[in-house]
Structure formats: C-alpha cells, structure tokens
Chains A and B, each alone.
Chain A
Amino acid sequence: MPIWEILALFVKGFVIANLIMVVFALMTWVERRLLSFFQYRLGPNRVGPFGLLQPIADLLKLINKENFKPNAVSAVLHLAAPIATLFFALAVFAVIPFGNEDWNLFGWVTPSSMAADLDVGVLFAIAMSGLGGYGVIVGGWASNSKYALLGALRACAQLISYEITLTLAMMPVLLMTGTLSMSKIAEGHLDWSIGGWHPWFIVWAPLGFVLFLIAALAEANRAPFDHSEAEQELVGGFHTEYGGLRYAAFANAEYLHLLAICAIGVTFFLGGTSIPGLPDANAWLDLLSFTVKMAFFVFVFIWIRATVPRLRYDRLMRMGWKALLPLATAQFLITALIASQGWGRA
C-alpha cells in the first residue's frame, strides 16, 4: 500500500470522525428539544437561533469545570475509561457506508463515504460496539465507589444478555446477504425480490427489526435500559465520579454509540443509502437518504425514551433472556428457511 493511500485513509477517517462529532453536538440539542416536545415544553431555545448553539454553551461549561479526580480512584483506569469508550464508539463509524459511490483516485478505487470497507465490517462494528461497554465497566470499577461499581455491574450483565439478542436479530440479514461486508449488506436487498420489488430487509425480517431496535436501546444504554446510569438509584451510575470533560467524553461516547447503532440498523434493515423507486441517485442524495433514515431511528429512540419508564432490573434480565432471545431465535429460524430454500432470490 503506497504512502498516499494511507494518507488518504487518514484524511477520510479524520473527516468522518469530525463530522460525526458535529452530529453528536447536534444530537444533544435534538434530544433535549424532542424530549421537550414530547412533554409539551420547548426545550433549550435561547442560545443562538432555535437554541442551536446550546451544545457550544454546554461544552464551554464542561471545559470550565474542574478536571476532578477523587483520591481513591485508580488514576490510570479512571482516565483511560472515558477515552477508551469514546475511541471504540468512534471506531464503529469506520465501517459504516454513508454512501455507495466509489471514487477513482488516480486509478485507486475507494468508497467515497466509508473509511474502510472491511470484508468483516459487521464483525468489526459489533466488536467495537461491544468493547465500548468495557469503558463503562472499567470506569465504574476504577471509580472505587459503590454506586459506580453497581452501575458497572449492571452494564456488564446487560451487555451479556442483550448483545446476544442484538447479534441474533442481525443474523437474518447476514443469512440472506451471505456477507459480512457492510457495503455489500447495504445493497444486499437488491438480490431478493417480492413480485419484482426489492424490499428492504425490514420486510423480510420485521420481528428481527423490532428485536434489533429493543436490543440496540440496551446496547446504547438508552432509556428504558439505562440501568448503568439510573440517576434515581445510583446517582450517576458508572459516571458518578466523573466530571467536566471526562464526563463529557462518556456522554459523547454514549451518543456516538447510539448513532453507530442507528447507522448499523439503517444499513441492515432500511437498505442503507437506497431510495425506493430511485435506483441511480447521486452521492448527495444517497447521503441524504442515509441521514433521513438515521434521523428516523434517532427519533424513535427519543420517542421511546420519552415514553417508557425504566424496567426493574430483574425484569430487564427476564425480558432479555426469556422473551427477546427466543423470539430472535424464531426469526432466525424462519429466515434460515427462506434463505436456504432461496424463496424470493432475484
């Protein structure tokens, strides 16, 4: 690999990472505004037009706060945990196909809006997403505080029980596309048709989509599965002992996690960048389509947060193991039948 290819990869990664960071900043605003609308309120609308500069005000506040570190914490891990969480959450975006256009740079063909088109992109994404949970666990443990430890324990248990459902809910799509490359999965629905149409995989595996949605909530530590934070019981859960920018890193990672899961969901179940009835859209329309689908996901997540209260912890586990897992298995078997018989293969 020549040096300029590596350089180009760096540039692409840099651009994507920074764009995602901007989206994160907007996400904090979007979430607060949308939550307010769900509660007959207006939300932050004072800083800048429509309150759009609120994230900057928040950031300034967090920067000004003391970089607090309690005496009894494990100093290295306490610092490493938020950084690691942030890193892993951001790493997922390396394999997300925001578009499907290829650029031909001096004979070197590279996907335009995807940092790295790995052959095992799905594996990479799931692994990075799962590793993000370790930042939470390590942070909670390193804090040397009961509340933080309880939060970390919960994150741990939740990770194990919901990661399985998440992956199993994604399996139907993998069965039908027969690949682990994210860009191929995004176009995979073109290989299957019902009566001449190429529906997204949400039509082929609707139950899988719903289960993915639920498991994604747990994976991203979102309400109603935010037991590792659980302000009412655990103060702040795993980030009780964090403040200022270290806390900001955790918050950042949480939103990036959410966005990453949304992006994976769009790629898997909503046909990636494809627009129905418009097979040859240009790169910008592709990006817009992807963004709109992600926005839909985000809206649903916020909608659910505004609606569903936190489950009791034992019920959460029971739901994960006794309800979601069997249902995901059922969907897996049904899709396995379809895929093995080749019904609907175009």
Chain B
Amino acid sequence: MSNNFTGVFRGTKNTGVGLATTLRAFLGRNITEQYPEYKHPVMPRFRGRHKLHRHANGLEKCVGCSLCAAACPADCIRVVAAENTDDNRVSAGERFAQVYEINMSRCIFCGYCEMACPFDAITLGNDWELADLNRDQMIYTKNMLLADPPTKDNYGMNRRAVTRPEPDLDSSLPVWLEETVSRERAERSSTDLAPTKRQGRGK
C-alpha cells in the first residue's frame, strides 16, 4: 500500500516536470520555416544544380572534351562534341559541345564533373528546387544549363522558359585565346580575319 502511494507522488512529480517542459515549448518560439515563402539559405559551397559558363565575350567555356562525363560516377552526363567552324564558333577551343545533357534524376551532385573540367566550364550552383512532374523534364539541356536558373512558382516547380538568345559569336575573344583563335583561323586559310575587339577578362 505504501509502495503504491510513493508511486503516486513520484508519478505526480514527474508528470509535473514533464508538463512544465512542454509548457515552455508552448510559450517558446516555433522553429518551423514556411517553405515556399521562406527558403532556407544554403551554404556557399552547397552543390546544387549545375551551371555551364561562358567567357566574357559570350563563347562557351566548354570544349566538349567529355572529361566530366568520364568522371561522372552516376553516368548522367552526355556530351557530343562538334568542331568549331568560322561560321559557327561556339566555344573558345577547337571543338564545342553540340549536345550537353545532364540527367538530373540520376545526378548525385558529387561535384566530380566540376573537378574534372579543365576549363571551369561546369560548376555546381546553389539551386536545389529541382523537383518536376515529368522524368523527361529532368534532362537538362545545354541551353538550360547555360541560362540562369529558372524562376520557380510558389510550389517550387520550374517555369521552363529558357529563351536566352544564342550568344553573338562575332563578339570579341579573351586576350589569352586570341592567339589560338587566329592561328586556327589562319590554318583554315580564312580570307577574312576580322579584327576582334579586345575585351580582356580583367585577370
């Protein structure tokens, strides 16, 4: 009997402590983040959606070497290279990526492609709202990766309108490339070596 009633007192005390704890939580500030309205900032080195980069003159940095595809453990990058021509100069190197696709549903965001790239053409950005309604839309094409990350609606869904115009290929080349380019052009015995406006990269 006495054993029973010490139990009553102990239980009452312990329950009281518990009630006080939960009441403190009740009066305290909640920690919920209202997601579509508030997006938790990611760390600077967070690895999110890839970006392809261009030189300051608009030429693509990617030369279609496929080293990223080789390094990719998830095998989600597909690169088909093509030769640059004078009429169609896309990248600063000899070749350019005619097709550059990343299958985002397979990508594990390890960043090996970034490390493998000799020209810093591909980096992993900070965008992480990659959900979509369709598997086909998870394959990001070159134009999508070159463009700024698309804006999202309230539910984080992509509004796919990658309408960034193709770069003006006649624009100037970076200083460090001019020699290469002019040599290439000479080798192709181009008759018209238009003087290019110098627009250095600054560094």
A residues in contact (CB < 8 Å) with B: 34, 36-42, 303-304, 306-308, 319, 322-323, 327
Smallest CB–CB gap between A312 and chain B, Å? Answer: 13
Smallest CB–CB gap between A212 and chain B, Å? Answer: 15
Q: Top 5 nearest A-B pairs by Cβ distance?
A: A42-B32, A307-B22, A307-B18, A38-B22, A323-B8
> Can you report 27 residue pairs joining A to B where beta carbons are below 8 Å apart?
A34-B26, A36-B30, A36-B32, A37-B26, A37-B30, A38-B22, A38-B26, A39-B25, A40-B25, A40-B29, A40-B31, A40-B32, A41-B30, A42-B34, A303-B22, A303-B23, A303-B26, A306-B22, A306-B26, A307-B18, A307-B19, A308-B15, A322-B4, A323-B5, A323-B8, A323-B11, A327-B8
Q: Say yes or no: is B28 at the interface (Cβ < 8 Å to chain A).
A: yes
Cα-based distance from A90 to B30 in the complex (angstroms): 36
Which B residue's beta carbon lies closest to that of A305?
B22
Q: Is the CB of A41 within 8 A of B32?
A: yes
**A40 — which chain B residues lie within 8 A by C-beta?**
25, 28-32
Q: Say yes or no: is B167 at the interface (Cβ < 8 Å to chain A).
A: no
Cα-based distance from A34 to B34 in the complex (angstroms): 18
**A34 — which chain B residues lie within 8 A by C-beta?**
26
Cα-based distance from A91 to B8 in the complex (angstroms): 35
B residues in contact (CB < 8 Å) with A: 4-5, 7-8, 11, 15, 18-19, 21-23, 25-26, 28-32, 34
Q: Is the interface of A mostly helix, strand, loop or mixed?
A: helix
Cα-based distance from A36 to B26 in the complex (angstroms): 8
**B21 — which chain A residues lie within 8 A by C-beta?**
307
| Contacts beyond the supplied A42-B32, A303-B22, A303-B23: 11 A-B pairs with Cβ under 8 Å | A37-B25, A38-B22, A40-B25, A40-B28, A40-B30, A42-B30, A42-B34, A304-B19, A307-B22, A319-B11, A323-B11
**B18 — which chain A residues lie within 8 A by C-beta?**
307-308
Q: CB < 8 Å: which of A39, A42, A307 contacts B15?
A: A307
**A327 — which chain B residues lie within 8 A by C-beta?**
8
**A36 — which chain B residues lie within 8 A by C-beta?**
30, 32
Smallest CB–CB gap between B42 and chain A, Å? Answer: 22
Cα-based distance from A41 to B33 in the complex (angstroms): 9
Which B residue's beta carbon lies closest to that of A306?
B22
**A307 — which chain B residues lie within 8 A by C-beta?**
15, 18-19, 21-22
**B8 — which chain A residues lie within 8 A by C-beta?**
323, 327
Cα-based distance from A319 to B26 in the complex (angstroms): 28
Smallest CB–CB gap between B40 and chain A, Å? Answer: 15
Smallest CB–CB gap between B36 and chain A, Å? Answer: 10
Which B residue's beta carbon lies closest to that of A36?
B30
Which B residue's beta carbon lies closest to that of A42?
B32
Smallest CB–CB gap between A50 and chain B, Å? Answer: 13
Smallest CB–CB gap between B20 and chain A, Å? Answer: 9
**B5 — which chain A residues lie within 8 A by C-beta?**
323
Q: Is the CB of B4 within 8 A of A323?
A: yes
Smallest CB–CB gap between A326 and chain B, Å? Answer: 8
Smallest CB–CB gap between B72 and chain A, Å? Answer: 39
